[in-house]
Amino acid sequence: MNLNKQILAIIILLLAAMPHALGHVTGGKLQNFQYNADHAQVAPIVDGYLDDPAWERVTPGKLEQNLITGERWNPSPDFTGSFAATWRNGFLYVAIKFVDDQLETRQAKLLRGDHLILYVDPHHSGRKEDLYRFEIRIGKEMETLKYPLTRIAWGNDGQTCELSFRLDNLARKGNSIGFFITYSDVDSGNLQNKITWAPEGYTEESEYLPDLVFTAKIEPTRQQKLIQWGRIKSLY
């Protein structure tokens, strides 16, 4: 009897702890996890090469979460990757840069080759809706693009990429959208890892999308004007 009671108590304790543990991974950490996409003074040219002035000032988001194991991914020759995002005139621009020791781009089937999985949810549902899922083969230009993706271009032998998404008035200061990016690393014909931009503990079962927030700093020209105005006033 005593042993049974102990087992029962343990089961009750485990059940009580479970919702908390799940909430911790899927909800709690995502609340403080977001990418701030800063407004660009000049839109980048979507040609696959990241030499545009718009990419000089951005803060990269690192792909350093292993989606399969839920553990952190340490940058290595196997895979190292990051992305950045900026916006202007109703468009969101995303730049991706990565190193993969074995680029598999010749396979006919998506899952047999290296590919990116993105979610861009303009309506900010917070969840991974198939409607806003994009599967993109490394190094491939795509013939038909679905909303809101408007353009994709590769550079540096498929190791850099630029994408544009048309969001119209949803790309405005202070607004948030759902955003997710994963690199599916296929080496030697087999899927090895899925490395993503997400907080620690995030796995394939996590259904929530992180936020991308449109931000805008005061542009230098305006700041300079304010300084000049201050000087003019001090003359009198």
Binding site for Ca ion (CB under 5 A): 44-45, 47, 49, 52, 78-79, 100-102, 114, 185, 187
In angstroms, give the least distance from the CB of 8 to Ca ion: 48
In angstroms, give the least distance from the CB of 54 to Ca ion: 8
For Ca ion, the closer CB: 4 or 188 = 188
For Ca ion, the closer CB: 105 or 215 = 105
Whether the Cβ atoms of residue 166 and residue 89 lie closer than 8 Å to each other: no
In angstroms, give the least distance from the CB of 158 to Ca ion: 11
For Ca ion, the closer CB: 73 or 132 = 73
For Ca ion, the closer CB: 33 or 49 = 49
In angstroms, give the least distance from the CB of 159 to Ca ion: 11
- Cα angle for residues 135, 137, 138 (degrees, 5° grid): 135
